[in-house]
Amino acid sequence: MPSKVALITGASRGIGRGIAVEVAGVGYDVLVNYAGNREAALETKALVEGAGRRAEVCQANIARREDADRLVQATVETFGRIDLLVNNAGIAPKVRADLLEATPESYDEVLATNLRGPYFLTQTVANRMIEMLRAGVISSPRIVNISSISVYTSSPSRGEYCVSKAGIGMMTKLFADRLAEHGITVNEIQPGIIETDMTGPVRAKYDKLISEGLTPIRRWGRPEDVGRAVAAIAAGHFDFTTGAAIPVDGGFHLRRL
C-alpha cells in the first residue's frame, strides 16, 4: 500500500520542522516546503528520512498564487497523492510598529503570507483531495491550520499578525463546514510561546514572564509539542472532530485569578 503523504508549508525550520518529523513518525512521507532557506529544508528532509520516511523539498512562496499552485502540482507529481495539508508557513512583521503607526505595506505583506496564501492553497488542495477521494486514491484526508494564541490575544505592536491569525481561525471553521460532506476534517492548532527563530529576539522577555507564571506550565513550548498535536490528527485520533481549535500553549488560554 502506498504511503500517505503530508504537504507541510514552511517546514524548513521551527514549528514546521517539528511537525514534519512527528508526522513522519506516524507513517507519512513529507513534502517539505520552504520559501528561501534550502539548506534548512534539506536538514528537515534528512530528519524525516532518519525517521524512515521519504521526503522531498520544494521551494515556493505561498503568498504567490502561482507558487502555491506549483507546490501542489509538485507534490502530486512526486508522490501521486496528498493525504494531509498543514498550513504552517507564517511571517511576523519586519518592524513591530504601534497600531497607530503601522503601514499598509506591512499589513499586506503579512496577510498575503499568513492568510491569503493558506486560504487559496487550501482551496486548491481541497479540490485535489475531493478528486482523489472519488478516484479511490486516498481515503481519509485531513487539513490542519497552525494559528497562534494571537487569534485572541491583543499585541498592538504587531496588529497585522494578530489579524492574520484570527482570520485563520475563521478560515478553519469555513473549510471544516464546507468539506465535511466529503469526509475531509479541518482543524486548527493554536501554539503558544514556542522556542523558534521567530521568538529568539524576545527570549529574555518571555523567560521572565514564564518564570513569573504567564503559563501554568512554566516552560517554553517546543516545536515537537506542536508536531505531536498535528501527528495525533494525522494518525486518525481526531477523525470525529472538525472545525476545532486545539491549544498547545502550556495553559496560557486559561482565565485565572
Q: Which residues of 45-77 are buried (b: 16+ CB within 10 A; e: fewer)?
A: bebbeebebbbbbbbbbbbeeebbeebbebbbe
Give the pLDDT confidence score for residue 11 in this predicted structure: 98
Tens digits of residue pLDDT in 81-138: 999 999 999 999 999 999 999 999 999 999 999 999 999 999 999 999 999 999 999 9
Query: Mean pLDDT score of the chain, rounded to an integer?
Result: 96
**Residue 255 resides in a domain:** no
CATH for 193: 3.40.50.720
Residues comprising the chain, all counted: 257
Q: The domain containing residue 72 runs over which residues?
A: 4-248
**Residue 256 resides in a domain:** no
In the annotation, is 161 catalytic? yes
Catalytic residue among 28, 34, 119, 161: 161
Write down the pTM of the prediction.
0.96
**Residue 253 resides in a domain:** no
**Residue 218 resides in a domain:** yes
Tens digits of residue pLDDT in 51-80: 999 999 999 999 999 999 999 999 999 999
Q: How many domains does the chain divide into? A: 1
Concatenating the DSSP letter of every residue in 139-184 gives S--EEEEE--GGGT---TTSHHHHHHHHHHHHHHHHHHHHHGGGT-
**Residue 174 resides in a domain:** yes
Instruction: Give me the helix-helix angle, 65-79 and 117-135, nearest 10°.
Output: 30
